[in-house]
Amino acid sequence: MDPFLADEDQAMLRGEGSEAQALAMRILVGMARATGARRMIDISGAHIDGTLYLGRASLDFATRLRDGGGRVAVPTTLNVSSLDLLHPDLFRGDDPTREAALAMTKAYLDMGASPTWTCAPYQLADRPGYGDRVAWGESNAIVFANSVLGARTPRFGDFADMAAAVTGRAPEFGLYLDRDRRARVRIDVSGIAERARLTDEFFAVLGILVGREAGSEVPAVTGIETATEDQLKVLGAGAATSGAVGMLHVVGVTPEAPTLASATGGVSPRLVRVTTDTITRAYQDLSNTGAENLRTVNLGTPHYSARQIARLQDLLAGRRIHPDVTLYVNTGRDVLASSYDIVKRLEEAGAMFVVDTCTYVTSILPAGAGVAMTDSAKWAYYAPGNLGVDVVFGSASDCVESAVAGRVIRGRPPW
């Protein structure tokens, strides 16, 4: 069944606006048919995930929209690119890839998108509010918007998010709808020691477990009394990495889940109990080597916040990074600017900041043998396949101690 199209939608579809709007509306109508959406709705913003250069099609789509008169109709932020535009010498790829990636960034900026280049647009000063309907790509950002901010967006894939940005419209389906925001699986962590439930590494590993158990369902996590935004960030990132999670509830913490009943709509959910054994196995699975010959440490996937950068300075406590190790901190350019003084001190200690991109998606890491260590479950999950590296997962404290010592050091997990 075709969706109901308002007069403005039909006008764009007929080409009465720009060629880009007509193309974008054709994409959205196809998306509506595929998802069973009954109508198009207005959106108040967009976040574009298709900004990595992944081949000629990536560039062709962006330039076709731009050359067809495409302009964003709503405030639009941009996900990571293939390049650190502030530190171009970090890129170790070939010149044709660099040139294509630069051409892509220009096309999106020409269409009026903001040069944010971050996978964590929720860390920007201007972010969606409760109930706002947006069209966001980037899996971790989608989970955060729905779960922590209480905004509404389904999981938009590459190109569809930009189609929504150009038209200011989106098919009404999925997590735009109340019924699809209700939890159908309960992940109970009350059996884990309370001190462990307060640690950042617990939230990161739990995210991987939640994604595996929930798949594409909305989960409700019980047994957590408090959580910071950074902890909720890594929880959602992990869940969106190992599963197709677009929203989760932390009962008593996130805005649409003051109680389990409110999170589920009164329906009894499937129950999964997290035990010490299951969280330990998930923790171990995030490392694919037991080697100690450390080469790089990679922090900030999703991008580190200003609070995390300040904590990194505290953990380093005036010490220097070992000369045989490169410690990369992935963050957004806005956070880099707001943390200027701390960043300079960390750079003097040997840390290297990466903005506009991330070390697991582009050619930045040096060639050669050695372990890549990370405090990010998402980085640990993807990097072996993306980069062919051996990975060890640990807490932020583990990562810092290892970077200073020049070899992998991991404390005992707190659970």
For residue 297, count other CB atoms closer than 10 A to its CB. Answer: 29
Whether omega for the bond prior to residue 219 falls within 30 degrees of 0, making it cis, is no
pLDDT, residue 389, reads 96
Model pTM greater than 0.85? yes
Decide if pLDDT at 174 tops 70.
yes
Shortest CA distance to 104 belongs to which of 93, 94, 115?
115
* Segment 348-375, tens digit of pLDDT: 999 999 999 999 999 999 988 899 999 9
Give Cβ neighbours of residue 261 (< 8 Å, ≥ 6 apart).
Answer: none
* Segment 210-263, tens digit of pLDDT: 999 999 999 999 999 999 999 999 999 999 999 999 999 999 999 999 999 999
Pairing, β 169-171 against β 40-42: antiparallel
Q: Are 232 and 204 in contact (CB under 8 A)?
A: no
Q: Please report, rounded to a whole number, the percentage of residues in the chain having pLDDT higher than 70.
A: 100
* Segment 150-166, tens digit of pLDDT: 999 999 999 999 999 99
Compute the 3-state secondary structure of the chain and give helix, strand, coil in percent, each to the nearest 5: 45, 15, 40
pLDDT, residue 1, reads 66
Q: Are 134 and 161 in contact (CB under 8 A)?
A: no
* Segment 3-50, tens digit of pLDDT: 899 999 999 999 999 999 999 999 999 999 999 999 999 999 999 999
Domains and CATH numbers, the chain: 7-178 (3.30.499.10), 182-284 (no CATH), 287-405 (3.30.499.10)
Task: State the Cα torsion 127-129-134-137 to the nearest 10°.
Answer: 50
Give the pLDDT band (50/70/90) at residue 313.
very high
pLDDT, residue 369, reads 80
On average, the pLDDT of the chain sits at 97
232: Cα within 13 Å, side-chain hemisphere = 28
In whole angstroms, give the CA distance from residue 208 to residue 34: 29
